[in-house]
A and B are shown apart, each in its own frame.
Chain A
């Protein structure tokens, strides 16, 4: 029941809805006490043949009115209680989303997206269920159950009530026991199902090996076994699940039996009428639901609690990168200075960068090259404060980047990441991602700069073409160029290209670099690349190896030095020849 205290803030927030919802729910329960009573009265009148058409019509009209009010009340409390639970889910989902937007990249690296999605769907559903179904079963089992018992004892016969209800606790205990069993077995069935899923996943990813070794039949055999296991576990669930109805039927029948036997005795004694007995059995029928609800309640509450705990734990995680106290909100500007003694990723001993000391003057271009894993991307991500440097600092102008707010820092920087992330939206919307109110002219201008304009015009819907999961599939090069255009649109003082020209051909690369040069006078650009042609014209180039700067200078100087850079340059020239099938140039 802790979940109801945990959700107290919400019940307070929606106190009118819950208050009235519960009142109407209780009124509905009360109204449903009336028809069995009317039946009892009429049965007695019919038996004694004292019924007149006037009374009959009066009672029938009364029932009709009860029916209409009950319908209205039933509608109202469902709206209020279930409606509120939907609002709760909505709020929780919004706050989870908001929380996600505040968390640092490290969090998203550690957690699997599938798990995070599960919190936002399954867990929220379970909490929603507790706030809707849970409240309903709680109120219903208490008020309706109580009311039926009180009505039976007060209006008809308390002794008979007591005798008849004797088997009911057995039913409650049994159904609760079934509920527990079911929960366990259901867990096993789910595990078996996810095992089956893994099996299929493995099969689909290993299809080539399976075909090459003629493993198809063996795989079918394994699958048959795995899915047989799922069936067995599900049958185990069914064996418990199917117990509910027969148990309830039998125990209720036994209650009826007791009611009839002892009821007859009371009728014989004259302390009860046959009509009263009829009403009594009808009330008995109405007692089944509150009893069941009581059993359901525990299940709903338990699941809701566990889920709410998970959600709360998630919401309690603090972002690792935050604004310092008194951080400036002015967008920083000026030369970029790296002064890093050493850096390793949080929770990891391995040094990723060490002794990085460079200054990039405003308006200059810095090229960063080196092998995969040399630390190129790390250098760039540190500038964006995706992670914080502890041993050393990076500054823009006179401001260390930690002394300005994240918002201000990112306002100064345009970023084209290695893996180009586009969102499910039109191309125009994707380009205008950082500046949603940009005019079409501005969008087209940057698209031209990024050499993607022509490609876009070739799509059926031009700039309105939807991309992303549901939209058209773009080539890697097209995605890259769209994400370049996106970064250019904001016209930031600092532009970061993290190996962002890898998927475009040499000619396009030249034209993009050329356009950048003209466009970005007095603005700083940082380019990391595998292909050296992307950094050839940079004002300075650093070569990283295992996190250290091993070479530093202009293209000409580095070629002259005849080190890694020069070797790599010659190598890539050969590569170009090979990819052209041996023709030079």
Chain B
């Protein structure tokens, strides 16, 4: 919704920006270009050598050995040079293209790393992934196939014309008449094909959407006995798609190879006519005629190639526009706003009259003020949507604050460097995200200064080592996608270890609601208690039993702190906290306690 639409690109702007990447490869591109010119030069030279052979030796039937051997060697040599330099040239251009894409990808990815959570809240993950990988892949096609084909073909055509002019200026000029026809053909094809192509793409995406939706909702379709109707609907879209494809086949057969072949024939007729008429009153050099026909033969290959690439071009421009849109996105993550570089020493956290809204309309936090003294635990309780998570999000500097302030050891949150904050404030999230790698990697992350011993100490500290040691690979046990081979309790313990390995001053806990087996649950609770010791802790608690010893409990409702105090005080008050406590502990057993509101 909120995408920065103000940066509208014209096709030319996008193209210019795409080409601007070339400047990083100036020398390589120049070298590749040089190789291309040498290769093309050799290509053009071939027919000229044949012409010399035909006109100087074959026609007059004169066969001196030495010049002929020389001619033969140069002929083979010229083509060997052409083959070699073409290979060098193509590889170089491809390398440049791939490196440009690499550069662009890293740029986009790095950009995304610096975007704020606001951006991630507003952008579906799937489309973001697709921009970083698929869209850049389409741009790769533009560079690798379209641009290199166009450069190659253009140079080849220029070379061929140069050869023609060298051989016979008048005929070369006559052949030049073909150019406008060809350009017209290309232009017309581009116009017509872009329309047909767009329709085809739209139909294809409709087809895929219908299929995808049907596969997802098949149970519903069957329960409502709509199979036949849906089959018909799908059949209709499928037919539309077929019609669009047939149209593009028709267009291609009218305007691509057969049409280009016709222009070739016209060229051939022109050359034959020219020499034929000439032969009426003078001797014609057959070698020149031969070379011209040979050139003509090669001239149309580049044309065919360029025309076939035109459709990719359109698609790549759309992708490029999307990628550049992402690169220009302004929703950056909050960063350090001064260069004082204060350090977190004691870990005193203070919220002063913080009011916050994600969308700028509804306030999810209203006038929140509290202080957590060094080593104290502040617990946040309240039902879903009361604002607990927002407090944590702000303390982690995931979102910028506009009203009020957050202070650590008396310094504003915005004054700290990212590094200091991330090292000193340890966050334990509800869903314990695991990275692909091994257990070690998941505890250490990218902090190479943490030794294996420290990793193990952290795991022991949170009692994760007990299950890690039972794994076949122990600390080297591989962790698959999202850590799915581990139970949710084990994942939690690992994420505790990850936090403890950094030995933070401040602990931010978002207690998990997911139920785990009793044994793991015990381990988790023991670990949490140990972790909190000596650290300022801000904890979201779902189970009130785990925070009875908190120094301060804040009860939130609709973004406001409605009650605050210690456990016993709040119970005596008989307010919201009391009801919540009853909810979890009342009526004897805790059987129902796992059901969250």
Residues on A close to B: CB < 8 A?
Answer: 35, 38-39, 42-43, 45-47, 49, 51, 53, 56, 59-60, 63-64, 66-67, 70-71, 74-75, 78-79, 82-83, 86-87, 89-90, 93-94, 97-98, 100-103, 105, 108, 113, 116-117, 120-121, 193, 196-198, 200-221, 223-224, 227-228, 230-231, 234-235, 238-239, 241-243, 245-247, 249-250, 253-254, 256-257, 260-261, 264, 267-268, 274, 278, 281-282, 285, 371, 384, 386, 406-407, 410-411, 413, 415, 417, 421, 423-424, 433-434, 436, 468-470, 486, 490, 530, 564, 567-568, 570-571, 574-575, 577-579, 581-582
Contact = CB atoms under 8 A, between A and B. Distances in A.
B215 A117 contact: yes
B407 interface: no
B24 to A, nearest CB: 14
A202 B597 contact: no
A86 B249 contact: yes
Contact of A417 (B219, B265, B587): B219
B85 to A, nearest CB: 9
Given A242-B90, A581-B562, A101 B227 contact: yes
Given A46-B284, A47-B59, A56-B277, A231 B242 contact: no
B90 to A, nearest CB: 4
Interface of B: 43, 46, 50, 53-54, 57-59, 61, 63, 72, 75-76, 79-80, 82-84, 86-87, 90-91, 94-95, 98-99, 101-102, 105-106, 109-110, 112-114, 117, 120, 125, 128-129, 132-133, 137, 140, 144, 207-209, 211-227, 229-231, 234-235, 238-239, 241-242, 245-246, 249-250, 252-254, 257-259, 261-262, 265-266, 268-269, 272-273, 275-277, 279-280, 283-284, 286, 289-290, 293-294, 297, 333, 383, 396, 398, 418-419, 421-423, 425, 427, 429, 433, 435-436, 445-446, 481-482, 495, 498, 502, 557-558, 562, 575-576, 579-580, 582-583, 586-589, 591-592, 595, 597
Given A113-B215, A254-B79, 15 more contacts: A43-B289, A82-B253, A86-B249, A93-B207, A101-B230, A205-B125, A209-B495, A212-B396, A216-B113, A220-B113, A246-B87, A249-B86, A250-B82, A260-B75, A274-B59
Nearest to B293: A39
The 9 A-B pairs at the shortest CB distance, nearest first, are namely: A218-B446, A214-B422, A582-B576, A78-B253, A74-B258, A253-B79, A246-B83, A242-B90, A212-B427
Given A63-B268, A564-B591, A575-B583, A250 B94 contact: no
Q: Chain B's interface: helix, strand, loop or mixed, by majority? A: helix
B125 A201 contact: yes
A245 B223 contact: no
B592 A568 contact: yes
Interface centre among B91, B132, B259 (most CB of A within 10 A): B132
A568 B100 CA distance: 62
A204 B213 contact: no
A582 B575 contact: yes
A46 B276 contact: yes
Given A417-B220, A570-B587, A79 B58 contact: no
Nearest to B425: A212
A260 B50 contact: yes
Interface centre among A53, A257, A530 (most CB of B within 10 A): A257
A194 to B, nearest CB: 9
5 contacts: A86-B242, A97-B238, A198-B436, A574-B579, A577-B579
Contact of A70 (B87, B227, B261): B261
A278 B290 contact: yes
B531 to A, nearest CB: 15
Contacts of A574: 579, 582-583, 586
Given A47-B284, A253-B79, A101 B223 contact: no
Contacts of B216: 113, 421
A35 B583 contact: no
Contact of A261 (B72, B214, B230, B562): B72
Contact of A82 (B249, B290, B422): B249
A423 B398 CA distance: 36
Nearest to A42: B272
A235 B94 contact: yes
A405 to B, nearest CB: 10
B501 to A, nearest CB: 10
Contacts of B433: 205-206, 208-209
Contacts of B293: 39, 278, 282
A227 B215 contact: no
Nearest to A275: B286
